Structure formats: structure tokens, C-alpha cells
């Protein structure tokens, strides 16, 4: 009995002593970000300390036009390297890109009715267009207003004519980007279509929302089987309307003279800079085109995108954010007259098997941001939708669009989620691809808000994906 009591007492005592030990503390949960506060930090930093507007002034005024295969583009390349360093990029390199050498040269367009005098018309050659070897090309003009009219025309009617397409972008379409793309993709604007029917040249009404007489450039595409590559030019909307009125009354001749020519290829560079990820080497890439047309400062297209990308990098550094993933900036060569820069970058990503978790692009001007187009799987889109409430105070509400355009588009073939900043573009096509696309057309505060929401989006992806 005593032995039993002793055992019970021992068990009791051991249990009592055991109960006096301090309980093991559970690890504290990692605190979640207060996204409202973080968004405000980003906004405050950019609105107070941003270098984006001054950088845009340097790029447009000191560097100026930066067309592919010109000294201006080489100057822009060096500018980009310098500014990536100043923004805090730790790795910077230049990626070789083969680009076409196209020289605009001298160009003129005149029209005449009957035996009257020749009248000069403001014009621009299409990028990459063939010229007239500096000789006068004189033929009657044939008016075409829609695709069905072109289809119905016989080769006999088109032969030895200069075709004039007076096809405006549709003002009824709310999104000016949509209306522009619909018009730009029309076969009406294809020199190949009319060239095969015997036409001698193509004149188009500029694709613009403006009502002035400033021509807006466009790139020409020739088909590989084109036996004859006809010259193509664009004229301002006032001249286009006046020319149509004349053609409805009488025969009008055009005298076209262009020394435009292509001279093979050369090497330009994509300029790339990044902040390596602290957690892994997966890439969040931001892209904008570095080049502009040969006659333009390229402020909205796409100088604003360039400096906004730089600002994202600078802001991450200024706020001391430890980014989980690598944040990379790619400033693309040859977006305006070829697109070789974006294709080269995508090809290298594929070749190196680099893991990209997202690509963010901006190429619609430095206007007030309104949303993000999400070109990705429905599963990925659903991950972003809950973030809307954080963006709403910054005027960003549209997450319903699904098309990403221009320089990040080739990455879609690699199943990389694409995000395009959506801005208010109602004024964009007043200036797009014209000599009016200058620094003074950019509002500083609108430019900075674009940089703010881009930085906020990159922050959210980096912390959540």
C-alpha cells in the first residue's frame, strides 16, 4: 500500500512541476502590409521628389528626335544608361537589336486641277516607304472612302492612278485607341492591296482626332510577294477634306516627289536596367519605347512612358523597399518603324528561359491614369481585382480591358501575364506621330500620377505574387 501511495505521489509531483514550466511561445505572425499607407507613401514620394518631369524635358529638348538608326537614337541610348544609374539600377546593359536604316530625305506633294497652278500640300512619307527616286510622279488621283468601294474597283480603274483614301477614325467610338486601331488595321491603308491592282502611289488622311492640317506619320507594310512597292504618304485632315471636295467636282492630278530610301540594317540597342530580387530572380518587367519619329520630340509617344518606368525604379530605391523579385526596365529600340526591339527582347527571354511573373507596359501618353488592361488568364485577373479599392482614390477604376498593346505584346507568346496602363486618351491622337508631340503638351501632375499607379501596381505584384 505504501508503495502504491509513493508512486501516486511521485506522479502527482512530476505533473505539478511539469505544469509550472513556461508554455512555448508561438512565433509571431508576419505583419501584413497596410496597403493604404504604402500607396500613400508611394504617392507622397513621387509628388514631392519625382525627377520624371525634368527627365522628360532633358529627353525631348536635349536629346530631341531619336529615330532608329540615327545619331539621335545613339544619344538617347547613352542618356538612358545615365538615367538608369541615377534611378538606382544595379545591373545595366545594352541589348543588340538589328534595325532598318530608312532615310526620309526630301519630299513634296502638289495637286493641280485642269490647267491651273500646282498647289503644295503638307505631307509626310510613311515610315519605310519607297520613294520616287527623286523624280516627279504625276498621275490622276482616285478617291476611295471605304473598303467595299476599293473591292469593287477593277484593275482598269485603279491602274496608273494615285489612290487617295479619305478614311477618318470613327468619332463615335469612345476609346480613341480602339478607333485608331480599327482604322490603322484597315486594308484601305495597305499599299500592297492597291499596288497589285496597278496603282502608282497611296495618299491617306492622317489618323488623328485633330482638326488642323498637321500630317501624322504611319508605318508602311509591304507584303513579301509585292513585285512593286509603291510610295505612300499621309496628309492633314483639312487638306484631305478639301481634296475630296475637289475630286467630287473634277479631275485632280498629283505630283509626288520623294527621295526616301532604305539602306539595309544596322545595330541599335535596347537599354535594360534592374534591381535584383531579394527573394528570387523572377522578373517583373516594365517596358516603354525609347525611339521617336525622325521629325518629333516624342513627348507623349513615348517619352512619358520612359520616364515613368525610371520613376518606378527610383521610388523603390528612395523608399527602401526590399523587392522580392527582380524589377527590370526595358527601353525598346525601333518601335516606330519595325518593332525589332520588342521581338529581340522576347526572343532572349525565351532563349535564356528567364522566369517573368508579369510585364507592365505604357505607350498611350502621359495623361491621367484610368485603369489597367489585364491580358492574362482569368485566374490571374481574379488575383488583381481585390486591389481595386486601393487604386480608386488615385482615379484608377477600369480593370475590365484585356488587350495589351505594343512593346510588351510579344511576351504573351511566352505565357507571361501582361498589364497595360490605361489613360485618358481623348487628346492623345491630336499629337500622336506628329511634330506637335512636344514637351509643352505634357501636364506634370498627370505624368506623375501615371508613375504613381505604375509603382503601386509593381509593389502589389512584388508583394503578392
Is 20's pLDDT higher than 70? no
Confidence of residue 156 (pLDDT cuts 50, 70, 90): very high
- Region 89-117: mean pLDDT is 96
Query: What's residue 33's pLDDT?
Result: 76
Per-residue pLDDT at 313: 98
In this predicted structure, the answer to whether residue 457 has a pLDDT above a threshold of 90 is: yes
Strands (E), 62-197: 91-103, 107-113, 119-121, 123-125, 137-144, 161-165
> Is-contact 404 373, C-beta < 8 A?
yes
The reported pTM is 0.90
Mean pLDDT of 255-277: 97
| Amino acid 16: pLDDT | 42
Angle subtended at Cα 12 by Cα 10 and Cα 17, rounded to the nearest 5 degrees: 95
Check residue 379 and give its pLDDT: 94
- Residue 272 predicted with pLDDT over 90: yes
Place 445 in a pLDDT band, splitting at 50, 70 and 90: very high
Task: For residue 329, give every residue at least 6 positions away whose Cβ sits within 8 Å of its Cβ, in sequence order, or none.
Answer: 84, 89, 272, 273, 274, 285, 286, 287, 309, 310, 312, 313
Within 192-322, strands assigned E span 201-205, 232-235, 252-258, 261-275, 283-289
Averaged over 71-100, what is the pLDDT?
Answer: 98
Instruction: Report how far residue 229's alpha carbon sits from residue 105's, in angstroms, rounded to the nearest whole number.
Output: 18
As a whole number of angstroms, the distance between CA 410 and CA 318 comes to 32
The answer to whether residue 302 scores a pLDDT higher than 70 is yes
- Kindly list the domain boundaries of the chain, sorted by start residue: 35-102+264-464, 105-259
Mean pLDDT is lowest, of 63-77, 220-234, 385-399, for 220-234
Q: Which CATH architecture has domain 105-259?
A: 3-Layer(bba) Sandwich (3.50)
Domain boundaries 35-102+264-464, CATH class: alpha beta
- Sign of torsion, CA 340 345 350 355? negative
pLDDT at residue 7 tops 70: no
**Average confidence score pLDDT of the chain:** 92
- Mean pLDDT value across residues 332-357: 96
pLDDT of residue 373: 96
Percent of the chain with pLDDT over 90: 82
Q: Cα 370 from chain centroid?
A: 16
Give the residue-averaged pLDDT of 47-70.
Answer: 98
pLDDT tens digits, residue range 213-259? 999 999 988 888 888 899 999 999 999 999 999 999 999 999 999 99
Amino acid at each position: 500500500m505504501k508503495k502504491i501511495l509513493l508512486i501516486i505521489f511521485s506522479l502527482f509531483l512530476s505533473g505539478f512541476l511539469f505544469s509550472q514550466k513556461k508554455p512555448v511561445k508561438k512565433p509571431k505572425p508576419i505583419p501584413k502590409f497596410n496597403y493604404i499607407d504604402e500607396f500613400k507613401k508611394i504617392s507622397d514620394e513621387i509628388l514631392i521628389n519625382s525627377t520624371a518631369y525634368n527627365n522628360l524635358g532633358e529627353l525631348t529638348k536635349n536629346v530631341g528626335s531619336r529615330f532608329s538608326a540615327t545619331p539621335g537614337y545613339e544619344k538617347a541610348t547613352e542618356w538612358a544608361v545615365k538615367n538608369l544609374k541615377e534611378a538606382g539600377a544595379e545591373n545595366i546593359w545594352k541589348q543588340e537589336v538589328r534595325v532598318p536604316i530608312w532615310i526620309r530625305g526630301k519630299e513634296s506633294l502638289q495637286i493641280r486641277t485642269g490647267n491651273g497652278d500646282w498647289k503644295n500640300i503638307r505631307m509626310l512619307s510613311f515610315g519605310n516607304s519607297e520613294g520616287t527616286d527623286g523624280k516627279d510622279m504625276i498621275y490622276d488621283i482616285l478617291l476611295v472612302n471605304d473598303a467595299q468601294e476599293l473591292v469593287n474597283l477593277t484593275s482598269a480603274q485603279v491602274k496608273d492612278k494615285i489612290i487617295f483614301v479619305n478614311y477618318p477614325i470613327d468619332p463615335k467610338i469612345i476609346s480613341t485607341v480602339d478607333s485608331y486601331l480599327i482604322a490603322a488595321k484597315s486594308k484601305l491603308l495597305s499599299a500592297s492591296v492597291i499596288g497589285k491592282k496597278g496603282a502608282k502611289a497611296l495618299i491617306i488622311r492622317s489618323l488623328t482626332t485633330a482638326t488642323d492640317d498637321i500630317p501624322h506619320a504611319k508605318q508602311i507594310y509591304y507584303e513579301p510577294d509585292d513585285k512593286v512597292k509603291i510610295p505612300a504618304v499621309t496628309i492633314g485632315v483639312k487638306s484631305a477634306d478639301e481634296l475630296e471636295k475637289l475630286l467630287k467636282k473634277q479631275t485632280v492630278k498629283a505630283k509626288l516627289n520623294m527621295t526616301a530610301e532604305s539602306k539595309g540594317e544596322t545595330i541599335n540597342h535596347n537599354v535594360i536596367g534592374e534591381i535584383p530580387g531579394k527573394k528570387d530572380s523572377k522578373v517583373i518587367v516594365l517596358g516603354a519605347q525609347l525611339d521617336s519619329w525622325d521629325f518629333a520630340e516624342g513627348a507623349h509617344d513615348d517619352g512619358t512612358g520612359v520616364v515613368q518606368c525610371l520613376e518606378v525604379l527610383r521610388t523603390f530605391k528612395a523608399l527602401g523597399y526590399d523587392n522580392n523579385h527582380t524589377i527590370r526596365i526595358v527601353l525598346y529600340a525601333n518601335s516606330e518603324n519595325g518593332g525589332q526591339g520588342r521581338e529581340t527582347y522576347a526572343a532572349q527571354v525565351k532563349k535564356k528561359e528567364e522566369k517573368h511573373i508579369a510585364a507592365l507596359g505604357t505607350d498611350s501618353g502621359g495623361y491621367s491614369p484610368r485603369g489597367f488592361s489585364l491580358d492574362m488568364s482569368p485566374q490571374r485577373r481574379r488575383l488583381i481585382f481585390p486591389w481595386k479599392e486601393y487604386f480608386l482614390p488615385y482615379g484608377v477604376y477600369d480593370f475590365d480591358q484585356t488587350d495589351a498593346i505594343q512593346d510588351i505584346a510579344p511576351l504573351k507568346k511566352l505565357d507571361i501575364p501582361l498589364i497595360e496602363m490605361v489613360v485618358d486618351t481623348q487628346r492623345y491622337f491630336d499629337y500622336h506621330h506628329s511634330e506637335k508631340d512636344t514637351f509643352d503638351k505634357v501636364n506634370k501632375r498627370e505624368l506623375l500620377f501615371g508613375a504613381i499607379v505604375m509603382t503601386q501596381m509593381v509593389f502589389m505584384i512584388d508583394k503578392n505574387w
